[in-house]
Amino acid sequence: MGSPCYRRVTLVKGSHVEFAPYAISAISNPPTEEETLQYKQLRLSGLRTQPQFFGSNFEREAAFTDDAWKARLSASGKATFISSLTRKGSTREHANGVVDTLLERESGSGEQWVGTVTVLGPTFLEELYRNEELFELRNRTLYTIVGVWVEPAFRRKGMAGGLMQAALSWVREDTQHGRGDTPKVIVLRVHRSNAVAREVYLRNGFQDLAESVRNGDPNDEVWMAHDVDPSLRDAHPTGDA
Ligand SMILES: CC(C)(COP(=O)(O)OP(=O)(O)OC[C@H]1O[C@@H](n2cnc3c(N)ncnc32)[C@H](O)[C@@H]1OP(=O)(O)O)[C@@H](O)C(=O)NCCC(=O)NCCS
């Protein structure tokens, strides 16, 4: 796993409140068997629980072999991030009442994965460059975000925001899969009616793409985009790069 960053969420369980720390990290590439299994369970849970939010379906992916799941996580030019709950750690209360939580990652099956986001780099996206709705981005290096899912019991705790920020950092730092020095832009598609996901994306710096909004049916999907290299964009305005 890549370097995790730790947060803490408050869960109300029965009548008492307990702190459940969570970590956001990248799945190793290639993944371990444990990671492959955890990812498969989380992805299938999303496809089974709220299939309307995915471009795939449960029946199709439930039939994947273990090797197919591993291959999905091993491809070069993409990264999958997860948020995981871990109970291991110690707390320290300061005189001013501030409580620090010092955590260590639990390894193996003690950990519960509850959220995920995948970012695909330019090597996966040739057909996006032919998409008319993305014409204004033809001279950019495109990335896309897919597979956004947080288990219902763990929503509204900032996990999707944390996962998006991890994906953004990965894109910013990616030097292996770019197209020269053209500015990087992350695009994603979302149903207009998915107000929650749209709010998460807006809060994390995405904006609707004008062409896509103009063309789209009110019930249709809309493209949103996030400029990762605004300074480069100013140096190479669209069409001149
Ligand atoms: C979209 C989704 C990933 C958000 O996950 P999450 O971890 O709950 O999101 P966050 O906690 O980071 O939410 C950040 C902000 O989004 C908004 N938001 C999240 N859930 C919301 C809700 N139910 N109602 C209104 N606003 C909401 C809020 O502004 C929230 O910030 P706040 O809690 O400080 O008010 C989750 O709801 C999900 O898995 N939905 C189904 C799958 C899906 O829609 N995927 C996207 C397909 S494009």
Which of the four pLDDT bands, split at 50, 70 and 90, describes residue 240?
Answer: very low
Tell which atom from ligand 1 comes closest to the C-alpha of 150.
39
CA–CA separation, 195 and 189 (whole Å)? 13
Site to substitute for ligand 1 among 24, 156, 226, most atoms within 8 A of C-beta: 156
Whether residue 82 is contained in a domain is answered as: yes
Which of the four pLDDT bands, split at 50, 70 and 90, describes residue 170?
Answer: very high
In whole numbers, what is the pLDDT of the chain averaged over residues? 81
User: Which is nearest to 186 in space by CA: 233, 224, 241?
Assistant: 224
Following CA atoms 233, 234, 238, 239 in sequence, which dihedral angle do they give, to the nearest 10 degrees?
-120
How far from the centroid of its chain's Cα atoms is residue 123's Cα? 18
Q: Count of domains in the chain?
A: 1
Tell which atom from ligand 1 comes closest to the C-alpha of 149.
39
Region at 205 (left for phi over 0; alpha for psi -120 to 50; beta for the rest): left
**Range in 57-66, 81-90, 163-172, 183-192 with the lowest mean pLDDT:** 81-90
Estimate the crossing angle of helix 195-203 against helix 159-173, to 10 degrees.
50
Q: What are the structure tokens assigned to 161, written together?
A: 């925001």
Q: What is the mean pLDDT of residues 60-79?
A: 96
Q: What is the pTM of this model?
A: 0.83
Whether residue 158 is contained in a domain is answered as: yes
Ligand 1 environment, Cβ below 6 A: 50, 53, 148-150, 155-161, 190, 194, 196-197, 199-200, 203
Whether residue 240 is contained in a domain is answered as: no
Whether residue 241 is contained in a domain is answered as: no
Ligand 1 mean position to 50 CA, how many Å?
Answer: 14
Whether residue 222 is contained in a domain is answered as: yes
Whether residue 139 is contained in a domain is answered as: yes
How far from the centroid of its chain's Cα atoms is residue 58's Cα? 20
Structural domain of residue 28, as residue ranges? 5-235
pLDDT in tens, 191-229: 988 999 999 999 999 999 876 666 656 557 889 999 998
CATH number of the domain encompassing residue 120: 3.40.630.30
pLDDT at 121 (0 to 100): 92
CA–CA separation, 234 and 241 (whole Å)? 10
